A and B are shown apart, each in its own frame.
Chain A
Amino acid sequence: MPLHHHLFLEETKMAHRYPKPLLDTLYCLEDHIHWEEEEQVDYNEYSNTTTTNTNSSNVVLLEHDLFWDHEELPSLLAKEHQNQLSNTLLQNNLVLASSREEAVEWILKVNARYSFSTLTAVLAVNYLDRFLFSFRFQNDNNDNNNNNNPWLTQLSAVACLSLAAKFEETHVPLFIDLQLEESKYLFEAKTVKRMEILVLSTLGWKMILVTPLHS
């Protein structure tokens, strides 16, 4: 695929010039793009438009990478440090890992359905992971909590996708419309709103994510 080709060239080039964390960011981004592409195949009615938009957008953005202002790099790396995620979280909690996987899958389906940008999906998953990590950290001594609240991860996903769409997209569907995709739970607008407040507060309103898409 042209996309992987560009990414490969980018990685080869960067391997000689940039520190490792940046490559990690690219790998992470590639994973997300891969998932989105898989989902698009399952939704034929959207695949043409979305695929075209996604590929076109990514190709253009990657070309911008070639002209990076070197002053931006320290700034971007400093931001990236703040947003690092922890794999330990998922390794230690298989139940959470499973519900997170479902939540991410749901985010990608809705993202494709509404033709949101790749960046919106990346933002939403980032918010979700940072929130779950923070949540887990605060409840480390109470393993039962996650089991008692299986709906929490899905509600977090709805809130995180809504926040990402509000930050990045021009038009954002209502909460109810956002939840048209099949899931075990359907949350009221009031509930999602309160979860939005919780997510924003927990993340300290740090909603800007450093990715190559920002260059």
Chain B
Amino acid sequence: MWNEESDWIGSFDALLARLAECSMCSRRSGERPGAAQMDVKILDVAAEGGYGRVFRCLDVHTGALVAMKQITMVRLSQGIPAQIIREVSLLRELHHANIVKLLRVGFTENRYVNLVFEHLDYDLHQFIVNRGYPKDATTVKSFMFQILSAVAYCHSRKVLHRDLKPSNVLINHSKRLIKLADFGLAREFADDFLYTEKLGTSWYRAPEILCHSRQYSTQVDLWSVGCIFAEMVIGQPLFQVINCRDELEGIFKLLGTPTEETWPGITKLMPNLHIYCSKFDPLGLETFVTDLEPSGLNLLSMMLCLDPSKRISAEASLKHAYFTDVNWI
């Protein structure tokens, strides 16, 4: 028995060593640790999060700057995290100028998954915080057009992002080029499927998700884009400004408590809606989002529409009057 087991393990390891070649990378996993295996030279740590780290690196072959996202596989009992499988699979299918490019994927010592991406200078959150926010109306419009182009493309490929927020919008400084990133919560959609409830940063979360509906679709991304739009204009998160203990309370305070008339089906979705009834008359977007031209405010109101079935789509947004101004790039 001892010999049999030992032989089995040895056989399996030999098999793994022989077969484990990633077609996205010509090298075998496990041959060399860390950066060398991924053909990059680490320069510094660009970011750290619950998932792991992002390193700024040089590509050994091209000399180009790249970003390597190293994710720790902490829970041995569950194997490869679902988020990684989705992010890589979906990014392998998405090719668009405004979506970050995934260059290669590899494993280190069965403990880390390494994703090598093209490098961009900073994210939109940093841009807003460090530079006061893009007061230039042209920059806001350009950024919005690029974000919506990427979102429309994803939706046409039946992919929801589900975690759109400024820190997942990357910027190439010199070109003022926008790229969406972090598809760890993204997934393909079919209209009748139920999806997981827990998603994304709360300030950017659509009301139908906050109502604990598990039947939602592309409209959740448009709500998030609307929140980003407002944030670029006012310089801070819209629903942070509207200071409420409850995210949904903040939304209703701004836009008014929904009724069966304004949002058909809401009483079934939210049996406890009565808590909010008669409590809020809408403050209105104009109260907080000043300095935005009328057509921009109109577009924003169509994105931040309570009823998802009436919310504007990404594709329709691109045709909105806000973007027909001949003076912008």
Instruction: Give the B-binding residues of A (Cβ under 8 A).
Output: 56-57, 60-61, 64, 71, 75, 79, 117, 135, 138, 148-149, 151-152, 159, 162-163, 166-167, 170, 172, 174-176, 189-194, 196-198, 200-202, 204-208, 213-214
| B89 in contact with A208 (CB, 8 Å) | yes
What 0/1 readout, one digit per residue, does chain B (9-22) give for beta carbons within 8 Å of chain A?
00110011011111
Distance A193 CA – B107 CA, assembled complex (angstroms): 12
| B77 in contact with A175 (CB, 8 Å) | yes
- A193-B80 CB under 8 A given contacts A198-B20, A201-B22: yes
| A198 in contact with B24 (CB, 8 Å) | no
A175 nearest CB across to chain B (Å) = 6
14 contacts between A and B (CB under 8 A): A56-B192, A117-B193, A167-B85, A167-B89, A170-B194, A174-B77, A193-B110, A194-B110, A196-B80, A197-B107, A201-B22, A205-B105, A207-B89, A208-B93
Which residues of chain B have C-beta atoms less than 8 A from A135's C-beta? 19
B interface bracket (residues with beta carbon within 8 Å of A): 35 or more
Cβ of B23 within 8 Å of any chain A Cβ, yes or no, is yes
Of A57, A149, A193, A201, chain B has the most CB atoms within 10 Å of the CB of A201
| B80 in contact with A166 (CB, 8 Å) | yes
Cβ of B291 within 8 Å of any chain A Cβ, yes or no, is no
| B107 in contact with A201 (CB, 8 Å) | yes
Which residues between 1 and 56 of chain B lie within 8 Å of chain A, taking CB atoms?
Answer: 8, 11-12, 15-16, 18-24, 29
B172 nearest CB across to chain A (Å) = 25
| A61 in contact with B79 (CB, 8 Å) | no
Distance A190 CA – B93 CA, assembled complex (angstroms): 29
Distance A152 CA – B16 CA, assembled complex (angstroms): 11
Which residues between 59 and 98 of chain B lie within 8 Å of chain A, taking CB atoms?
Answer: 73, 76-82, 85-86, 88-90, 92-93
| B192 in contact with A61 (CB, 8 Å) | yes
| A57 in contact with B192 (CB, 8 Å) | yes
| A214 in contact with B158 (CB, 8 Å) | yes
Distance A40 CA – B19 CA, assembled complex (angstroms): 36
B118 nearest CB across to chain A (Å) = 17
Distance A166 CA – B73 CA, assembled complex (angstroms): 15
Cβ of B275 within 8 Å of any chain A Cβ, yes or no, is no
Classify the secondary structure of B's interface with A: mixed
Which residues of chain A have C-beta atoms less than 8 A from B11's C-beta? 148-149
- B88, closest chain A residue (CB): A205
Which residues between 229 and 269 of chain B lie within 8 Å of chain A, taking CB atoms?
Answer: none
Distance A148 CA – B187 CA, assembled complex (angstroms): 39
Which residues between 178 and 231 of chain B lie within 8 Å of chain A, taking CB atoms?
Answer: 187-188, 190-196
Distance A67 CA – B85 CA, assembled complex (angstroms): 30
- Beyond A170-B196, A192-B79, A214-B188, 10 additional contacts (C-beta under 8 Å) are A71-B156, A135-B19, A166-B80, A167-B85, A167-B86, A172-B82, A174-B77, A176-B77, A189-B79, A201-B21
- A206, closest chain B residue (CB): B92
Which residues of chain B have C-beta atoms less than 8 A from A213's C-beta? 190
A201 nearest CB across to chain B (Å) = 4
Distance A71 CA – B77 CA, assembled complex (angstroms): 42
| B79 in contact with A175 (CB, 8 Å) | yes
- A163-B194 CB under 8 A given contacts A152-B15, A206-B92: no
| A193 in contact with B88 (CB, 8 Å) | no
Of A79, A149, A176, chain B has the most CB atoms within 10 Å of the CB of A149
Which residues of chain A have C-beta atoms less than 8 A from B12's C-beta? 149, 191
A124 nearest CB across to chain B (Å) = 13
Distance A175 CA – B187 CA, assembled complex (angstroms): 22
- A79, closest chain B residue (CB): B93
Which residues between 309 and 327 of chain B lie within 8 Å of chain A, taking CB atoms?
Answer: none
Which residues of chain B have C-beta atoms less than 8 A from A64's C-beta? 190-191
| A197 in contact with B24 (CB, 8 Å) | no
Which residues of chain A have C-beta atoms less than 8 A from B81's C-beta? 166
- A163, closest chain B residue (CB): B85
- B24, closest chain A residue (CB): A204
| B79 in contact with A167 (CB, 8 Å) | no
Q: Which of B8, B85, B157, B193 contacts A200 (CB 8 A)?
A: B85
Q: Which of A117, A152, A193 contacts B79 (CB 8 A)?
A: A193
